[in-house]
Structure 1
Amino acid sequence: MRPLLSGLINFVLGVLFTYFAFQQVQENGWGFFSYLLLIIATLDIGSGLRLIFLHFKIKNSQKK
């Protein structure tokens, strides 16, 4: 799969997990599941951004 598409999917999933974590905190407070959702969101957003930057790095190196 292309890095840009994979990066966008990971980024969107990270935002979705962040939303679920906020909903969880509003309903039940800070518990194990809230922290777990935020850890997963952080990993997804980080890997998504890394893949998006990789796409542009590859694209710029192909131009040169």
Structure 2
Amino acid sequence: MRQSPLFSGIIYIVLGLLFTYFAVMDVQRTGEWGFFTYLLVLLATFDLGSGIRMVLLHYKIKNVKKDKK
């Protein structure tokens, strides 16, 4: 079974929010921005960006299918 871009996009967005949460918690715990915090922010950025693109792709595909009918 193939996953829809909407489901994949939601998973990516949730992971991005989770990585953001961990980055904020790490800064609060240590009081400074370390390598691990920057890595978490980088992963969160990629995941959120990919998630938004996947959700937009889902709606674009949906509109194209609707226009063909």
Question: What band does the TM-score fall into relative to the shorter chain?
Answer: over 0.9
* Other-structure match for 2:66: 63
Q: Normalising to structure 2: TM-score of the pair?
A: 0.91
Instruction: Write the mapping of 1:7-22 to structure 2, written as runs, cut at 5 A.
Output: 7-22=9-24
Identify the match of residue 27 of structure 1 among 15, 26, 29.
Answer: 29
Q: Normalising to structure 1: TM-score of the pair?
A: 0.98
Distance 1:2 1:24 in 2: 33
Instruction: Give 5+ residue unaligned stretches, structure 1.
Output: none
Moved over 4 A (4+): none
- Larger gyration radius, structure 1 or structure 2: 2
Shift of the alpha carbon at 1:37?
Answer: 0.1
Instruction: Give 5+ residue unaligned stretches, structure 2.
Output: none
How many aligned positions are there? 64
Q: Percent identity?
A: 58
Residue 44 of structure 1 pairs with residue 47 of structure 2: yes
Distance 1:30 1:3 in 2: 34
Distance 1:48 1:23 in 2: 22
Shift of the alpha carbon at 1:59?
Answer: 0.1
Aligned AA for 2:34? G
